[in-house]
Amino acid sequence: MQIFSRIYQKALEWASSQFAIYWLSIVSFLESSVLPYPPPDILLAPMALKQPNKAYSFALIATIFSVLGGLAGYLLGDVLLSFLLDYGLIKPESIISIKDFFDRYGIWVVGIAAFSPIPYKLATISAGSMAMPLLPFVLISLVARAARYYLIAILIKKYGAQCDQWLQKYIDRLGYGLIIVVIFGAWYAG
């Protein structure tokens, strides 16, 4: 069965769609604020692969809409904390140590989450709920998200054809291997 090959081909088709930029914008926004996945990379990479001359434009779109989504997550965090406090679902004393940690390391938490596979939305919601200053939040989000998406664009522009050939050949093995690793990890953790 070549399930992952079909999924990869479908992603390449979506990347060629006339609506690809809109989907990239929507996914970038939602993934940064409320959606658990997929990350915009899943659309950005095939879009850059199909149209390498537009790779940097696609990275810019992903960056802008991801940071806008991060702002929505920030606002959601502020509202969520107020709700939890107003209804007594969380005690103000329990927030003090978290707030202290976020005051010291919040910029690093947001920066690492914005660049790495760690869900960025957790950092955006946390930043809002812990009242991280907005300007540093926006600046580190812009820098880290741009670094992530432009790195993808650069790598695809430079190695895209080789990556595509390699993925065409090994995508199914990689996909099944990942499933085995996830199952083993769940079994080991349980």
Each residue's pLDDT tens digit, 32-52: 988 766 788 888 888 888 888
Rounded Cα–Cα distance for residues 146 and 143 (Å): 5
First to last CA, the chain: 29
Each residue's pLDDT tens digit, 14-35: 777 888 899 899 989 998 988 7
Q: In the predicted model, what is the mean pLDDT of the chain? A: 85
Segment among 106-110, 152-156, 158-162, 167-171 with least mean pLDDT:
167-171
| pLDDT at site 1 | 62
| pLDDT at site 181 | 75
Q: Where are the alpha helices (DSSP H) in the chain?
A: 3-16, 20-33, 41-50, 55-86, 92-115, 120-129, 134-189
Is 154 or 117 the better-scoring residue by pLDDT? 154
| pLDDT at site 37 | 66
| pLDDT at site 67 | 97
| Cα angle value 75/76/80 (rounded, 5°) | 120
CB 120 within 8 A of CB 33: no
Closest by CA position to 49, among listed 149, 150, 152, 156: 156
Rounded Cα–Cα distance for residues 20 and 33 (Å): 20
Mean pLDDT, rounded, for 172-189: 74
Residue 61 tokens, joined:
């779109």
Closest by CA position to 106, among listed 78, 130, 88: 130
CB 156 within 8 A of CB 48: yes
| Cα angle value 17/176/40 (rounded, 5°) | 35
| pLDDT at site 61 | 97
Mean pLDDT, rounded, for 87-109: 81
- With 90 as the cut, is the pLDDT of residue 145 above it? yes
Each residue's pLDDT tens digit, 55-95: 999 999 999 999 999 999 999 988 888 887 777 777 777 77
Rounded Cα–Cα distance for residues 121 and 28 (Å): 11
Q: What residue type is assigned to position 83 of the chain? A: F
pTM over 0.95: no
Domain ranges of the chain: 17-159
CB 152 within 8 A of CB 48: yes
| pLDDT at site 73 | 93
| pLDDT at site 190 | 58
| pLDDT at site 122 | 85
